[in-house]
Structure 1
Amino acid sequence: MERETVNSLLVKKYNQPVPRYTSYPTVPFWKERLNADEWTTNFTTRFNELNHINGISLYIHLPFCESLCTYCGCNKKITTNHSVEGAYLEALEKEWMLYRKLMKQTPLIREVHLGGGTPTFFSPGSLERLMKFLLKNTLIHARHDLSVEGHPNNTTTQHLKMLHSTGFRRISYGVQDLDPAVQQIINRIQPFENLKAATDNARTAGFRSVNFDLIYGLPLQTAESIERTINKVLELQPDRIAFYSYAHVPWTSKAQRLFDESHLPDAETKLQLYIKGKELLIKNGYADIGMDHFALPSDDLYIAWKAGRLHRNFMGYTTQNTGLLLGLGVSSISDTGNAFAQNTKTLHEYYEYVNAGRLAVHKGYFLSEQDISFRKYILDISCKGETWFNNADLPVLEALVFPKLTALENDGLIEWNHLSVKLTVQGHYFIRNVCSAFDLYLHEVNSRQQLFSKAI
């Protein structure tokens, strides 16, 4: 296989802070005080429109972890006290019932994802209680997808058997890196033997898709250590791999301030880590699906990508696009297609809201028709590598977007005309930058504001 190269001048030029585009408009531009009544009306309307057609997606945020991984930017609560499980499950149940009261139809469950935090922090009995409560008096779509995130160190055979019996068929393990020095500095010690056991146990339990999350750009990573990690991962043949760029955002993730920034690879070195990992994955049969994701041809993600059905939301790439994603739990985000709502980010406030019989939504955004149209352009580029323009958008496109596309074309990142735009091979490495050409809100950002991680 011919070795891929990326122009170093382009790396320096485009290594700017830009969003990951799991939503549009992106979270920093949402309103801090969402009108709960307007959200309730919007959710009810969209549920009645979509539930009987596609079903709905559920994301459940389980925030607890027993130890702090210093690279992590997720909303989490560090504790070894497992008595917190009961109070949190009770709050989730109350929140779900608040939404059930808004549903005039029986909910048709198409997708459930348990994320965190560490969902397998919760005991098998607690997770079983949660799923029984959520699925009680619901319908399950014939093409449903239930998935869970797990930690290799604490995902037991009891977890796996219980989850499989409830309908889960996909599990994603947070691996990040297998080099001992890197694991030490990011405070995530997990021997390869633990990962192998967790993988083997999931397959024995009947999970048809075992996925790994890896990160490039972590402190102390080198080309040699990345190669060793990827080769060890390949021994286990995960069905899909998310090979994420480390997002260094110490202004929002205080634990990242523990890093000596001299231990972080520079932009050009970091991109070479990605290229090295990608080469090994492609050589061993994985397809490059899109932004940081790889899958074997037998995996549902690959099949959806080939069929043009790939979707992207707050959970990353997904095979499901119901049009309505309901997030439950602290900091969870819901998406109705024309509105976003995020729950309050602290446990204290979350409990306060739901115990008072109120939805915990705090921040959100109601999309305009223009927002919806430009969101589609960004999703198309993220999921398909190309998009087609609507005539009604041409005045805005010509004024604000086409000049940016011309600059991107001059750098060899895209090919475009007044009908469509398509990524080039080189442009695939700068997909976030290409998406940002369609972001009509970025011009509002003060250059001194720190809102997003760098593109590379």
Structure 2
Amino acid sequence: MSMNLFDTALIKKYDQSGPRYTSYPTANNFSQFSIEDYQKQAALSNERKNPISLYCHIPFCDTVCFYCGCNKVVTKDKGKAEPYLQRLFKEIDRQAKLFDDTRVVEQMHFGGGTPTFLSNDQILALSEKLQSAFNFAQEGEYSIEIDPRGVDENTIKALAKARFNRISLGVQDFNSQVQKAVNRIQSFEQTKSVIEFARANGFESISIDLIYGLPKQSVQTFETTLNQVAQLRPDRISLFNYAHLPELFKPQRRINVDELPSADEKLAIFKYSMDFLLSEGYVYIGMDHFALPQDPLAIAQNEGQLYRNFQGYSTHAQCDIVGLGLSAIGQVGDSFSQNEKNLEAYYQRIDAGELPIVKGQIINEDDKIRRAVIMDLICHFELDFSKVEKHFGIVFTDYFADALPALVEMDSDGLLELSDNSIRVMDKGKLLIRNVCMVFDAYLANSKTQFSKTI
């Protein structure tokens, strides 16, 4: 991917907000969804016998990072974990009963919050509970998000014992002034030692999260951070655009807006980062994600097997996702569902003997068609009309006649090549893939949701 096609004028033209398409329809469209709906969808998924992916949400953090928009509970009281786990174990039992025990768990992910807020023994107990309730594959992809500030070699050994083989580390920026501005003090040495422990204990993949657009960042400061990240040589890097939405996320109100980089500086940081990571041999997967060429994500993309879900890009396209814990989102059968977001409400639902699902959506045929289109574009940057036509029995140009004018304009702008039977996204269009996908989103025009900027 040649970054001399980084077109600043084009990026500014298409400077708008839009979904990240970790699902279609997106989560803001979820509405009333009953437990009976969910049970029917679980029965449907059992008929299809697809493998299972488990997502466990651990909401606790002992400090608040000012940029964060995650659903979390900030507390230094480690005693808060045990009552949560007691409820989570009950939810696991209730969910497991809905799924055929011959179905195999190929993927597991612990997110948050900070999953390593839990003690080593608690992480082991939770992993063992899941393994006793579900049928785990011998060689699955089992990942966990960790905060290096609270992790030592014993933690890494406990994670390995709990069957985790992939870790994702929050870094965001190594610059001390930036760290102070966002209330996340984390040294390079601390991060390096955790990665070394993980590699020594057999972890197959290391991922690092970075954010550009934070207060006190500049091209010069981020250059230093990127050089340090390059020394660590993670298998995957996520380079997220900081979306300053203090009206939605209270911690962001503590960020000094006068210290945020200007729009031009932020774009310059992004361009420099893209150039740097590509020069270091990383492959641009899409949507903020980079991976080394031998990483399963890069291989899956090359083979046309890449997928996208609530955890980002994935190599497990056929999995049903069982969401467990506060605010967790599941994808089962032909539906999406989401748990209670409020901790006390979550506890009340569990204590009442219920599943804590509060909303969701059963997807219709139109949703499936548009999801297939968006998935191919966002994962593989190309779309073969005949593939969609054969699968769904439609005439593509008739079905999407309302989308063609926008696609023609994007073609003339050089974002994509539109032919009679395909769309091929060009390199500079890959940076604006959310904009391309938005053309096919039937819900967007009536959405009142405030999304992040596409770049």
TM-score category by the smaller chain?
Answer: over 0.9
The corresponding residue for 1:16 is 16
Residue by residue over 1:24-61, the C-alpha shift from the partner in whole angstroms, topping out at 9 and shown as x without a partner, is 11122221x3222112211222134224xxx2000000
Aligned-pair CA distance for 1:195: 0.5
CA distance in 1, matches of 2:20, 2:259: 24
Gaps of 5+ in 2: none
The corresponding residue for 1:429 is 431
Matched, 1:198 2:194: yes
Distance 1:12 1:266, change over 3 A: farther
Please state whether the residue corresponding to 2:148 is helix, strand or coil: coil
User: What is the aligned-residue RMSD (CA, Å)?
Assistant: 1.7
Gaps of 5+ in 1: none
The corresponding residue for 1:49 is 48
Please state whether the residue corresponding to 1:83 is helix, strand or coil: helix
Residue by residue over 1:339-379, the C-alpha shift from the partner in whole angstroms, topping out at 9 and shown as x without a partner, is 10000101101111111111111111111111011011111
The corresponding residue for 1:209 is 205
TM-score (norm 1): 0.94
The corresponding residue for 1:380 is 376
Aligned-pair CA distance for 1:137: 5.1
Distance 1:400 1:3, change over 3 A: closer
Q: Is the 8 A contact 2:28 2:449 kept in 1?
A: no
The corresponding residue for 2:230 is 234
Aligned-pair CA distance for 1:105: 3.0
The corresponding residue for 1:167 is 163
Aligned counterpart for 2:407 among listed residues 405, 423, 441: 405
CA distance in 2, matches of 1:16, 1:321: 29
CA distance in 2, matches of 1:407, 1:262: 36
Q: Write the letter of the residue equivalent to 2:374.
A: I
Distance 1:337 1:46, change over 3 A: closer
Aligned-pair CA distance for 1:337: 5.1
Matched, 1:37 2:36: yes
Q: Is the 8 A contact 1:30 1:364 kept in 2?
A: yes
Aligned-pair CA distance for 1:450: 4.8
CA distance in 2, matches of 1:229, 1:217: 13
The corresponding residue for 2:297 is 301
Aligned counterpart for 1:287 among listed residues 251, 274, 283: 283
Please state whether the residue corresponding to 2:248 is helix, strand or coil: coil
Q: Write the letter of the residue equivalent to 1:56.
A: I
Matched, 1:349 2:365: no
The corresponding residue for 1:452 is 451
Aligned-pair CA distance for 1:262: 3.0
Aligned length: 449
Aligned-pair CA distance for 1:323: 3.2
Matched, 1:100 2:135: no
CA distance in 2, matches of 1:248, 1:180: 20
Distance 1:425 1:395, change over 3 A: closer
CA distance in 2, matches of 1:366, 1:137: 26
Q: Write the letter of the residue equivalent to 2:187.
A: P
Aligned-pair CA distance for 1:142: 4.4
Aligned-pair CA distance for 1:404: 1.3
Please state whether the residue corresponding to 1:203 is helix, strand or coil: helix
Q: Write the letter of the residue equivalent to 1:15.
A: D
CA distance in 1, matches of 2:62, 2:400: 52
Please state whether the residue corresponding to 2:86 is helix, strand or coil: helix
**1:65-76 equivalent positions in 2, closer than 5 A:** 65-76=61-72
The corresponding residue for 1:438 is 440
Please state whether the residue corresponding to 2:240 is helix, strand or coil: strand
Distance 1:251 1:68, change over 3 A: same
Q: Is the 8 A contact 1:48 1:105 kept in 2?
A: no
Q: Is the 8 A contact 2:96 2:134 kept in 1?
A: no
Identity fraction in percent:
40
Aligned-pair CA distance for 1:395: 6.0
Distance 1:99 1:235, change over 3 A: same
CA distance in 1, matches of 2:315, 2:406: 31
CA distance in 2, matches of 1:375, 1:170: 28
CA distance in 2, matches of 1:220, 1:337: 45
Q: Is the 8 A contact 2:93 2:133 kept in 1?
A: no
Residue by residue over 1:50-102, the C-alpha shift from the partner in whole angstroms, topping out at 9 and shown as x without a partner, is 24xxx200000001000000101110000000011111111111111111222
Residue by residue over 1:164-193, the C-alpha shift from the partner in whole angstroms, topping out at 9 and shown as x without a partner, is 123211101000111111111111110111
Aligned counterpart for 1:125 among listed residues 115, 118, 121: 121
Q: Write the letter of the residue equivalent to 1:344.
A: E
Q: Write the letter of the residue equivalent to 2:427.
A: V
Distance 1:441 1:138, change over 3 A: closer
Q: Write the letter of the residue equivalent to 1:301.
A: L
CA distance in 1, matches of 2:400, 2:164: 47
Aligned-pair CA distance for 1:394: 2.9
Distance 1:120 1:133, change over 3 A: same
CA distance in 2, matches of 1:58, 1:349: 22
Q: Is the 8 A contact 2:41 2:335 kept in 1?
A: yes
Please state whether the residue corresponding to 1:153 is helix, strand or coil: helix
Distance 1:337 1:177, change over 3 A: farther
Matched, 1:277 2:273: yes
Q: Is the 8 A contact 1:415 1:422 kept in 2?
A: yes
CA distance in 1, matches of 2:133, 2:328: 23
Q: Is the 8 A contact 2:308 2:375 kept in 1?
A: yes
Q: Is the 8 A contact 1:147 1:171 kept in 2?
A: yes
Q: Is the 8 A contact 1:251 1:450 kept in 2?
A: no
Please state whether the residue corresponding to 2:49 is helix, strand or coil: helix
Aligned-pair CA distance for 1:107: 4.0
Please state whether the residue corresponding to 2:150 is helix, strand or coil: coil
Please state whether the residue corresponding to 2:245 is helix, strand or coil: coil
Q: Is the 8 A contact 1:47 1:324 kept in 2?
A: no
The corresponding residue for 2:82 is 86
The corresponding residue for 2:421 is 419
Q: Is the 8 A contact 1:353 1:360 kept in 2?
A: yes
Q: Write the letter of the residue equivalent to 2:33.
A: L
Distance 1:45 1:222, change over 3 A: same
Aligned counterpart for 1:77 among listed residues 69, 73, 94: 73
Distance 1:429 1:344, change over 3 A: same
TM-score (norm 2): 0.95
Aligned-pair CA distance for 1:3: 5.5
